[in-house]
Structure 1
């Protein structure tokens, strides 16, 4: 008995589409999706605070997570959107945060040297970037051997009511600035990583936190 997998067409994202979407989101992000994503972001930083040394946060956005890091950690935050990073810089200056570096950078083409970071976080970004596989490859490259990667994201379902909503939203991917259809295997089966654990994140288990270890 054969099975057939149906492919859902989603308008492709590119850097310009992402920049445009987040230019619009920047002024209202903290009071909209920033609130929804709060529990997962706090959970991720709690896990990163168990690490040491240099931390990379990919897609730092407006810097909502930055005040929560341990003060002895060196945190570098990158984002493709200058407007979002401007908000993050204002937050760093307003709160007097130290050991925080903010850079405009493409997550799929990081300018850091190999094995530069002890741990990395990618929060609510994997469904936004045009090339998720390239982001995972770059993450592996810049992490030190045995380094930790924390991924927080929405992962799509294959069945049920939520799957139907995701398929309907998929045709609006370019306007939304993210892909509603995104299987978890895109992360859990990325070469060079081992899945350590997965945790549902509020609200209502819509998001999942994955903790991975660089191997090989």
Structure 2
């Protein structure tokens, strides 16, 4: 798996911040809708979104939930904060934080949402360990991400593979290595977005 450096991720998303909603808003929206639908069914008291980005999902989480969103990109968070400021009467907190090193006590959240973040994380093992730590035992982890293997997307994955570190994204990203090998309980896997570009994985934090 290609190495990604944190500084390159930050640099990439500083560039993408003003363009992100236009480039990735609509095309990745079906996956977000499925994630938010699942969260609504769970209706968690405390939810954390790791990689909140520009805050495209913030207003659609359950109004009763205490919501915390973190991201490594200050430029993305600035846009997200503008969205959050318009939502009066909601318990919303945004913080600049690295998902591999979070400043929350163990078991702080009932549900962790990870939309389109796992494949841009420098050290996926550290990241997974950290989201499991801050999620309570028996809580829910929702991972929405692209995983390689689709025949339709094979050519695109091949073309961008060598650019992984430069663009802060891994196209060659195995479900078996990143999800199936961990000792958590996978409850469901659903293909989302155009022609199965992404998967929504629902996990119980055992």
* TM-score (norm. length: structure 1): 0.90
- The answer for the alignment partner of 1:209 in structure 2 is 200
TM-superposed CA distance for 1:97, in Å, is: 6.0
TM-superposed CA distance for 1:139, in Å, is: 1.0
CA–CA distance in structure 2, aligned partners of residues 192 and 143 of structure 1 = 15
- The answer for the alignment partner of 1:114 in structure 2 is 106
Of 3, 9, 12, the match for 1:18: 9
Greater Cα radius of gyration, structure 1 or 2: 1
Superposed counterparts of 1:88-107, under 5 Å = 88-96=80-88, 98-107=90-99
- The answer for the alignment partner of 2:64 in structure 1 is 72
- Which 4+ residue blocks in structure 1 deviate beyond 2 angstroms? 94-97, 159-165, 186-192
- The answer for the alignment partner of 1:146 in structure 2 is 138
- The answer for the alignment partner of 2:173 in structure 1 is 182
Structure 1 gap ranges (5+)? 1-8
Residues 115 and 144 in structure 1, CA contact (< 8 A), matched pair in contact too: yes
- The answer for the alignment partner of 1:173 in structure 2 is 164
Question: Over aligned residues, Cα RMSD in angstroms?
Answer: 1.5
- The answer for the alignment partner of 2:123 in structure 1 is 131
TM-superposed CA distance for 1:99, in Å, is: 0.8
CA–CA distance in structure 2, aligned partners of residues 84 and 117 of structure 1 = 23
TM-superposed CA distance for 1:164, in Å, is: 3.4
* TM-score (norm. length: structure 2): 0.94
- The answer for the alignment partner of 1:28 in structure 2 is 19
Of Structure 1 and Structure 2, the greater helix share is in 2
Residues 8 and 167 in structure 2, CA contact (< 8 A), matched pair in contact too: no
Please list the CA deviations of residues 39-82 of structure 1 after superposition, one character each: whole Å capped at 9, or x if unmatched.
Answer: 11111011112222100100000000001111101110000000
Structure 2 gap ranges (5+)? none
**Are residues 161 and 118 of structure 1, via their aligned partners in 2, closer, same or farther at CA, if it must alter by over 3 Å?**
closer
Residues 136 and 190 in structure 1, CA contact (< 8 A), matched pair in contact too: no
* 188-197 or 78-87, which deviates more: 188-197
Residues 153 and 197 in structure 2, CA contact (< 8 A), matched pair in contact too: no
TM-superposed CA distance for 1:37, in Å, is: 1.2
Residues 118 and 143 in structure 1, CA contact (< 8 A), matched pair in contact too: yes
- The answer for the alignment partner of 1:3 in structure 2 is none
Structure 2 counterpart SS, 1:130:
coil
TM-superposed CA distance for 1:190, in Å, is: 4.8
